[in-house]
C-alpha cells in the first residue's frame, strides 16, 4: 500500500457518522477505507459515482457555492 500523504477532514452530523460507521463495520470496512473507495470511484467515473437529483428535502445542496462556503466557514468560526 502506498504511503499516505494528506488528510481529509470533514464536519458531519454525529448521527450520520455513527449510522454510517455501523454499516461500514458490517461491511468489514473502516470509515477511512470507505472514504478511499469513494474517492477512487469519483476518479474512475470522473464525477460522482451515483446520480444526483434535486429533491425538495435536499434542495440546499444545490445552493450557490458562496452560500454553501459561508455556511461551512461559520462552523469553523465557532
Residue 58 backbone phi and psi in degrees, to 5: -120, 20
11 has a pLDDT exceeding 80: yes
Q: What is the mean pLDDT of residues 46-54?
A: 84
* Structure confidence at residue 45 as a pLDDT band (50, 70, 90): very high
Q: Does residue 72 or residue 1 have the better pLDDT?
A: 72
- 8 A C-beta contact, residue 34 and residue 42: no
Question: What is the distance between the alpha carbons of residues 23 and 34, in angstroms, rounded to a whole number?
Answer: 10
Give the Cα-Cα-Cα angle 58, 62, 66 (nearest 5 degrees): 130
* Domains of the chain, first to last: 14-77 (1.10.1220)
**Quick one: pLDDT at residue 53?**
73
Amino acid at each position: 500500500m502506498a504511503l499516505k500523504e494528506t488528510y481529509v477532514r470533514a464536519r458531519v452530523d454525529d448521527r450520520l457518522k455513527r449510522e454510517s460507521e455501523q454499516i461500514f463495520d458490517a461491511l468489514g470496512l473502516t470509515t477511512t477505507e470507505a472514504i478511499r473507495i469513494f474517492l477512487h470511484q469519483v476518479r474512475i467515473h470522473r464525477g460522482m459515482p451515483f446520480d444526483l437529483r434535486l429533491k425538495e428535502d435536499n434542495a440546499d445542496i444545490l445552493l450557490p457555492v458562496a452560500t454553501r462556503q459561508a455556511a461551512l466557514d461559520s462552523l469553523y468560526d465557532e
